[in-house]
Structure 1
């Protein structure tokens, strides 16, 4: 299939050095709020890239649940494939593909587990069905049918019929501590605007900002 004619020109807006926030967390929050206000589907959906023990990269979409200046937090099964990758190599990359706004944000950093208390606080905020689902999925493992999942779900529903669903010992969060941010804004003629924030080794500002060629 020839896709060479499938193209569009990006012309919504531009991005200048003078319009950027000095702090990348502030810039991200500004863009995230705009993505939310634009009613994008899953504006907190982010592509998480990890690398396995053999150096093979892998990507998948996860949901950002909250962020602050300590980092970007998502939750998963600690026995999953992504968790195994992170255990071997905690260097990860996040990508927010906000195509309706002709934007993307790329964040590189180190993923570390959050505390059990932090995981519990979030787990208790989840819908009960999602809490039960965390107990019945051996994430990334081969299964013979969907029926096995549904049977296990009913077992967990019966097991925890009384009271709250407890936090599974194999489930929790990761915080990605950023080392760099790249803000990408599509422009006409493929002359896109790209600005890279990198953690500074020293100096009055904790971040350096450079424009990158498209």
Structure 2
């Protein structure tokens, strides 16, 4: 079984953002404006554009070191989106590209405190890909780094212990608290579906098995 690395890789969050940038930004630049107005299922009330504006704003806050009180609250997120209401879709994408390029070194130097932001951005990119019907939602080239980060974050948070046998990963992974009084929950299925469960996203179909836990128990974003 593969367990979390004892030593944090400070370059991993930035690498995850760069890999997703290289896939997502060209996709967005190729889509018509109408696609940016499509509603998202993962973020009720938000369009594709709203998700992208939220993502770009969050990353620029990281780049510029702007973490005032209440940042990343629902109210703060709504203000960030409203501030970009008059921007063109191309401007939002430009800012997102900048953020995904420049935030990595800042996150690396933060000692782990901002790693969750990189994972959240990667998940939101999956939300957008999912709406647009593009391949690689919650998967793609960044999946190995995302899983490594997810393993470490769930361990640091003493999250529900879970043993995962993933169809598309060679070795089982262990998520959550390293020590538990009871046997860990068990998951069998593909990695993208497991990511959806940890992100609190909708899961369709019955192509996976989860024992010892309910789907909602895995959500780390709440």
What's the TM-score once normalised by structure 2's chain length? Answer: 0.27
Q: Which of the two has greater helix per residue?
A: 2
What's the TM-score once normalised by structure 1's chain length? Answer: 0.28
